[in-house]
Each structure stands twice: as C-alpha cells, then as structure tokens.
C-alpha cells in the first residue's frame, strides 16, 4: 500500500511504487482535473504541486511523493492565491479549449506564491514548461499580471 496526502486528505492506494502519480490521481482517486498530455514531462498538462513546487505528475512515481503534500487543481482554490488566479483566468477569458489550463493554473499559482510581482521574464520562465495548442500565452501572461495586482 502506498500512503499519499492529496489535497490535505490521507489516501492508501494499492498501486505499484513506480506508478506515475498522474495515473494514481486520475485512475485510482478519480481526480481527473490533472490531464495527460505527453507522458514525458514536456507539456505541463499534468502539473501538480508537491510541497508547493510544481511537478509533472506523468513522470513522478508515487514512491517519490510518499510523506509529501500533493495538491491538485481540485483544491487550488482552497487558498487565496489559487482563488485569485482562477478569478483572473475567468475575468480575462484565458481558456480556449481548456485542456492545458489546469497545468497552466498550477504553474501560475506556484509562481505567484513565491513572487507577487513577476516580470514578463519571470512569467515566461515559470510558464515555459506549459504548452498550449490554442496559443493562449498572451492571455495567460495578462491573467498572471492581473492576479499579481489583486494580490498586492
């Protein structure tokens, strides 16, 4: 049994230690907000937080996160930064198809949790691992600046 703390709740999962966290979340815990994109940690659709740091769940084995705090998009609005980021996303109509947006939001929340006044370069660096087929990058950057203003 693998014991995980996901969104503040303890879970015991009957999965192999090398099971990617993404599949433990989606298939075992039915938390489908975290998306499968590439399976190689290249696109960012599967981004979750582990102890506050964004990680790619598709290549992170569950054994690597035992005893650590995992947060998914399902719980990101349980704290102020997450709520403000999601409000900015809605206000600026960032989402087009929406597939990558949970990963985008998780990366943006991690950035603004550490840096409340990010420059364009800071945003580009923090978001560089998140790909969007719809090319919403300009709106993502604007929403991060909007959220930063609201958090100031």
Convert the pLDDT of each residue in 57-72 to its tens digit.
999 999 999 999 999 9
Dist. CA 65–CA 86, nearest whole Å: 26
On whether both 62 and 92 belong to a single domain, the answer is no
Residue that is last in its domain, among 75, 107, 123: 75
Q: Domain with 65 in it: what CATH number? A: 3.10.20.30
Regarding whether 61 and 38 lie in a shared domain, the answer is yes
The residue count for the chain: 152
pLDDT at residue 101, as a whole number = 95
DSSP letter (8 states) at residue 68: S
In tens, the pLDDT along 16-52 reads 999 999 999 999 999 999 999 999 999 999 999 999 9
pLDDT at position 103: 97
Lookup result for tokens 């996303």? 89
Please state, in angstroms and rounded to a whole number, the distance separating the CA atoms of residues 137 and 113: 20
Quote the mean pLDDT of the chain.
97
Same domain? For 41 and 93 the reply is no
Per-residue pLDDT, averaged over 126-147, amounts to: 96
Q: Token pair of 34, please?
A: 């975290």
pLDDT of residue 74: 97
Do 45 and 58 belong together in one domain? Answer: yes
- pLDDT score for 48: 98
Q: What does the block give as tokens for 71?
A: 């947060």
Nearest to 114 by CA among 35, 49, 45: 49
The C-alpha atoms of residue 107 and residue 48 are separated, in whole angstroms, by 8
Record the pTM.
Answer: 0.95
Q: What pLDDT was estimated at residue 26?
A: 98
pLDDT, position 35: 97
SS3 4: strand
CATH number of the domain bearing residue 83: 1.10.150.120
Structural domain for 33, as ranges: 2-75
Percent of the chain with pLDDT over 70: 100
pLDDT tens-digit map of 81-118: 999 999 999 999 999 999 999 999 999 999 999 999 99
Burial classification of residue 12, based on how many CB atoms lie within 10 Å of its CB (0-12 exposed, 13-18 middle, 19 or more buried): exposed
Same domain assignment for residues 102 and 141: yes
One domain for residues 64 and 107 = no
């Amino acid at each position: 049994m693998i014991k995980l703390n996901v969104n503040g709740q303890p879970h015991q999962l009957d999965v192999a230690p090398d099971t990617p966290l993404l599949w433990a979340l989606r298939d075992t815990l039915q938390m489908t907000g975290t998306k499968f994109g590439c399976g190689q940690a290249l696109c960012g659709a599967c981004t979750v937080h582990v102890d506050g740091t964004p990680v790619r769940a598709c290549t992170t084995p569950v054994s690597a996160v035992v005893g650590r705090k995992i947060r998914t998009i399902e719980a990101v609005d349980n704290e102020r930064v997450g709520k403000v980021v999601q409000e900015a996303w809605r206000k600026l109509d960032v989402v087009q198809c929406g597939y990558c947006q949970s990963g985008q939001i998780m990366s943006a929340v991690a950035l603004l949790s550490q840096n409340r006044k990010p420059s364009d370069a800071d945003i580009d660096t923090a978001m560089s691992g998140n790909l969007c087929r719809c090319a919403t990058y300009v709106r993502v950057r604007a929403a991060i600046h909007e959220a930063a203003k609201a958090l100031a």
